A = this chain, B = another copy of it.
């Protein structure tokens, strides 16, 4: 295989972007990434998206965006793996460049969730769960995560407020990310008084419904210098790994252990020749607070039942031992589902280039991103290294 480098990144702001259509969002992110990379053409565009068919009546999305950005003729495909669609698109681009068959591949994530009434969007999100064995019984995504959180609190004797540091950290970091949806800080008091959505999950445990798009340009590592760009540091994809679990949570061997996250990140560690101690920052999938904690435990950053302690210890802050959600994460940057995995990669690149502004993690050299589809059913992990 050929080593793969990311030479360009682009993103739109995240929020309720009623003035921007689905194709316009995709356009803006792709064009920004191409300009950042200094490329005027590409061989392929892979688009991560979950809900365009359900919410916008539009499939065939990658071909539509390829044409709309002026790349008519290139290869295009949409990649869907629920909320992990974004990272799945990046992974397909990585495989395509690694194969030696394609030289310039753009992976984008695009999602538009706010043009439909919230109940329609919520019903759309449930397409990620098992239709026959979960959704038909009335389970929503929120309900499934609420049961996981409840079980965690019961099993390990953890109070709800122990989760507070995760959304507080995310909101603190989002304040200075111009692309984030939310720019207000929150406190433990606010967290404890936040309206409950599905007990024990409250509104500040939950990432928002929103619109957004992000994109990266990938090329063979040995040819990265050929392209234009702005002279920015090149970032190498040191590992890319995907794994799955049962779609239905009740079918898992142990619902509190994210097997797919464990498999996925350990495949990534093996590919990169690294261990959890080597990771300088971690963009994890904080769709709900409980997911952050389960992800940290599955990835070897904390023993089981102790993932919450990392929040309390201060380790997850920008100047901590393992900074998390450094640009706001799903909770505060926002979670436009099929785009989220690409935002995570874009933000890692910002950090590894030293371009994260007030959010810069000092000496960021090795970053990890983990994108989760469903309640842990598809998990994709990337490890990126900023090269000198």
Using a CB–CB distance below 8 Å, which chain A residues touch chain B?
Answer: 1, 21, 23, 44, 50-51, 53-54, 56-64, 66-67, 72-82, 88, 91-92, 95-96, 98-102, 126-132, 135, 241-247, 251, 259-260, 263, 373-374, 377-378
Residues of B within 8 A of A101 (CB): 1, 95, 98
17 residue pairs bridging A and B, Cβ less than 8 Å apart: A21-B132, A57-B126, A60-B82, A60-B377, A63-B245, A63-B247, A63-B377, A67-B247, A72-B246, A75-B241, A75-B243, A77-B79, A77-B81, A77-B92, A92-B92, A96-B99, A98-B100
CB distance from A269 to the nearest CB of B (A): 15
B378 touches A128 (CB 8 A): no
Question: From residue A102, how far is it (CB to closest CB) to chain B in Å?
Answer: 8
Provide the bound-state CA to CA distance between A387 and B374, in Å: 42
Are the C-beta atoms of A64 and B247 separated by less than 8 Å? Answer: yes
Taking a contact as CB atoms under 8 Å apart, the answer to whether B244 and A73 are in contact is: yes
Chain B residue numbers with a CB within 8 Å of A54 are 53-54, 59
A62 to chain B, nearest CB (A): 7
User: Quick check: A59 and B88 within 8 Å, CB to CB?
Assistant: no
CA distance A72 to B96 in the complex (A): 24
In angstroms, Cα B100 to Cα A244, docked, is: 21
CB distance from A154 to the nearest CB of B (A): 26
Given A60-B374, A127-B60, A135-B57, also A242-B98 (CB < 8 A): no
Instruction: Kindly list chain B residues whose C-beta atoms are within 8 Å of the C-beta of A98.
Output: 99-101
Q: Is B1 a contact of A73 with CB atoms below 8 Å?
A: no
Whole-angstrom CA separation of A101 from B58 in the bound complex: 33
Q: Which residue of B lies closest to A52 (CB)?
A: B127
Given contacts A60-B247, A63-B247, 8 further A-B contacts (CB under 8 A): A58-B130, A59-B82, A60-B82, A61-B80, A72-B246, A73-B244, A77-B91, A98-B99
A67 with B127: CB separation less than 8 A: no
Give every chain B residue within 8 A of A260 (Cβ-Cβ). 73
CA distance A263 to B95 in the complex (A): 22
Q: A57-B135, A59-B50, A64-B247 are in contact. Are A79 and B76 (CB under 8 A)?
A: no
CA–CA, A77 to B84, complex, Å? 9
Q: What residue of chain B has the Cβ atom nearest to residue A4's Cβ?
A: B99
The 5 A-B pairs with the shortest beta carbon distances in the complex, nearest first, are A59-B127, A75-B242, A99-B99, A98-B99, A60-B82
A60 to chain B, nearest CB (A): 4
A316–B241 Cα distance when bound, in Å, is 45
Contacts of A75 in B (CB 8 A): 241-244
Distance of A141 from chain B, by nearest CB (Å) = 11
Partner of A62, one of B81, B127, B130, B246: B81
Nearest chain B residue, comparing its CB with the CB of A78:
B80
Q: Give Cα distance in the complex from A293 to B21, angstroms.
A: 36
Tell me which residues across on chain B come within 8 A of A263, comparing CB atoms.
73
CB within 8 A of A56: which of B56, B76, B131?
B131
A262 to chain B, nearest CB (A): 10
Bound-complex Cα distance A50 to B61 (A): 11
Q: How far is the CB of A200 from chain B (nearest CB, A)?
A: 25
> How far apart sit A74 and B74, CA to CA, in the bound complex (Å)?
29
User: Chain B residues with Cβ under 8 A from A251's Cβ?
Assistant: 67
Closest residue of chain B to A54, judged by CB? B53
Point out the residues of chain B lying under 8 angstroms from A88, CB to CB: 77
Residues from chain B with a CB closer than 8 A to the CB of A246 are: 67, 72
Q: Which B-chain residue is minimally distant from A259 (CB atoms)?
A: B73
Let me know if A77 and B245 touch, CB within 8 A: no
